Amino acid sequence: MELESKIELISRGTLEIVTPDELEDKIKKETKTAYIGFEPSGKIHLGHAITIRKMMDLQEAGFKIKILLADLHAYLNGKGSLEEIKEISDYNIRCFRALGLGEDTEFILGSTFQTGEDYTYKVYELALSTTLARAKRSMAQITRESKDHKVAEVIYPLMQVIDMMFLETDLALGGMEQRKIHMLARENLPKMGYEPPVCIHTPLLHGTDGSDKMSSSKENFIAIDDTPDEIKAKIKKSYCPQGQVEGNPIIEIAEHFIFTETDTLLIERPPKFGGNLELTQEQLKDTYQKEELHPLDLKNAVAGKLTQIFEPVREYLKDN
């Protein structure tokens, strides 16, 4: 694959690349590593699938993929005992394989290196040069808004920066909620003698309830291993206001999971309601915005197609 084709593949569907010039330099390296970290804390859902699909693009472009199962991060975030988190980690790995990551993907449990002496000293070193205000800005939005902060919440972003160092990261991927931590890494790793990673940010998928982010803790998600009946029921009750395109999770699901697989979406309707429609992504947005398509018809079409797309995932998880 030529350089321009690799850049186009990696850039597709992203919100930001910091920086494009550095990305080009990384692509030219013979050996290069892309990393993403996940807290093992619940079901793998469509929000996770967006980033995993981008990791697959990076894999196709020649990057070695490292997936961090951040069990100690999850523990610091109060997501359960280490034993419980380990069980969820094993499930997460099976899900990521089911989504299509290649066999040479490396899955790393955070506790296998995050308790080491060298790692701990590096966290201390970063703590000495990071103000409390800067660390708090890097915390997750929901955590920053909490009234009663735990010390662990401030340690969390520092560990995430040092993770990038220890995993020899050329490129760090995450949703836009990871941006502040990524920028913390880019500011501080050079001060510690390490090259900063290129950072790529993907869109956040709105929750089925219309909230800013799909999340297993908020129960506003569609899991990649949900049954067809579960997918249909969740989409049927999802937030999907008539005529609204922006911030509409059903429109977003179509954009990120259906129109990446096919050019058109078939909307089946009885003749008395206008008959069938076969729409491109832009036609779908335009038709819906003009209120020429009922939310229920849109939901039925998206649910049916999404069920088909994730059938191989369900089959893989059933057999593995």
Coil, strand, or helix at residue 18? strand
Per-residue pLDDT, averaged over 289-310, amounts to: 97
Mean pLDDT of 81-100: 95
Q: What is the pLDDT of residue 141?
A: 45
Average pLDDT over residues 239-243: 97
Q: What is the set of domains in the chain, with CATH numbers? A: 3-202 (3.40.50.620), 228-319 (1.10.240.10)
pLDDT above 80 for 145: no
As a whole number, the mean pLDDT across the chain is: 93
Higher-pLDDT residue of 172 and 77 is 172
Beta strands (DSSP E) in 203-311 are 265-267, 277-279
pLDDT of residue 95: 96
| pLDDT tens, residue by residue, 251-292 | 999 999 999 999 999 999 999 989 999 999 999 999 999 999
| The dihedral formed by the CA atoms of 158, 14, 38 and 110, expressed in degrees to the nearest 10 | -50
Sign of the alpha-carbon torsion through 135, 141, 145, 146:
negative
Note the pLDDT of residue 255.
97
CB 3 within 8 Å of CB 27: yes
Q: What is the pLDDT of residue 146?
A: 56
Q: What is the pLDDT of residues 45-85, one digit of tens each?
A: 999 999 999 999 999 999 999 999 999 989 988 888 999 99
Choice among 38-42, 182-186, 218-222 with the minimum mean pLDDT: 38-42
- Sign of the alpha-carbon torsion through 240, 48, 194, 2: negative
Phi and psi based region of residue 42 (left: phi greater than 0; alpha: psi -120 to 50; beta: remaining): left
